[in-house]
Amino acid sequence: MLERLDTFDSRFVAPRHIDVWLPPGYEKGGGARYPVIYLQDGQYNCLPASNLMGWGLCDTARGLIEAGVIPPVILANIWNSPDRWREYVPKKPVERFVSETERESIRQRGKCPTSDRYLKFLTDELIPHMESAYPLITRPEARFAMGSSLGGIISLYAVCEHPDLFYGAGCLSSHWPLYEGSTLPYMAESLPDPDRHRFYFDISTEALDARYIPYHRRVRDILAQKGYREGETCMNRVWKGHDHSATSWGKRVHVPLTFLLTGGSP
């Protein structure tokens, strides 16, 4: 079941839709409480896989729940805005690790990140609203973020900046070359405690994702250096034959859903 929160107003970002997907068997007031995943680019996630822009993510989640692979989970699908680029580009990596020449170019092009305001919208407005409107488990280990491309980058940033609120992130085809690869040294400094957090990262081998392969190797090295254990507290996958598209993400999203919510691999 999909509920739409029309024009969710914010003090920090432009108003936007939030599509809240409720799992099979959901009954308001039924006594059950649920984990939640906050998903970026939310207007596409629950579109059927037959739609060119659709992941079919909600259909996948339903199948996994009905098969007993993952627990029932609520999906908060946050629509992006015309300011998607600035909202999803992490601000601190740009400030700390991008050259002055590039930072000046960013300023001149009007592309200065507003992602810290986007995170304030998540932490100060959307999460409190969701936890008052739906029967959610309010412990950090039941909150996750997920997205693809820049949506993966901002999901990682959310967990690093707010490790007390989020347990983990699913990051598909993350756009690692972004601004001189500045997210990678930020990760090396800012990844939270590996004993209390979980991350899924992947890339594919075709089209735009082919550029990400050397960055993905560095991501694996950083995770290992920070004490994350492959298959236990992190998972890194390379998907041969997939590309940078909703069609490809939809074919493999069952893997991060399973890993984040259970720690296992399908």
Residues 231 and 213 sit within 8 Å (Cβ to Cβ): no
**Per-residue pLDDT at 50 exceeds 70:** no
Tell me phi and psi for residue 29, to 5 degrees. Answer: 80, 10
pLDDT digits (tens, 9 = 90+) for 224-242: 999 999 999 999 999 999 9
Q: How far is it, in rounded angstroms, from Cα 87 to Cα 81? A: 9
List pLDDT tens digits, range 160-197.
Answer: 999 999 999 999 999 999 999 999 999 999 999 999 99
Q: Indicate whether this model's pTM tops 0.85.
A: yes
Q: Which pLDDT score is estimated for 184?
A: 97
Q: How far apart are CA 126 and CA 50, in angstroms?
A: 30
pLDDT digit string, tens, across residues 94-139:
999 999 999 999 899 989 999 999 999 999 999 999 999 999 999 9
3-state DSSP assignment of residue 80: coil
The topology (CATH level 3) of 2-262 is Rossmann fold (3.40.50)
Give the pair of three-digit tokens for residue 89. Answer: 């580009």
Nearest CA to 145 out of 129, 175, 167, 117 is that of 167
Cα distances (angstroms) measured from residue 201 to each of 63, 145, 147, 154, 252: 22, 12, 10, 13, 12
Question: What number is the average pLDDT over the span 27-51?
Answer: 86
Residues 6+ apart with CB under 8 A from 86: 111, 112, 113, 114, 115
**Is residue 63 over pLDDT 70?**
yes
Backbone angles phi, psi at 16, to 5 degrees: -160, 165
Confidence of residue 30 (pLDDT cuts 50, 70, 90): confident
Q: What residues does 77 pair with on adjacent strands? A: 19, 39
Asked if residues 112 and 54 have their Cβ atoms less than 8 Å apart, the reply is no
Q: Strand ranges (DSSP E) for the chain?
A: 2-8, 16-21, 36-39, 74-78, 143-148, 168-172, 198-204, 234-239
Sequence-distant (≥ 6) Cβ neighbours of residue 218 within 8 angstroms = 184
- Which one, of 257, 250, 217, 184, lies nearest residue 46 by Cα? 250
**Within 13 Å and on the Cβ side, how many CA atoms surround 147?**
28
d(CA 37, CA 109): 33
Check pLDDT > 70 for residue 55: yes
210-216 average pLDDT score: 93
Residue 89 class from Cβ within 10 Å (0-12 exposed, 13-18 middle, 19+ buried)?
Answer: buried
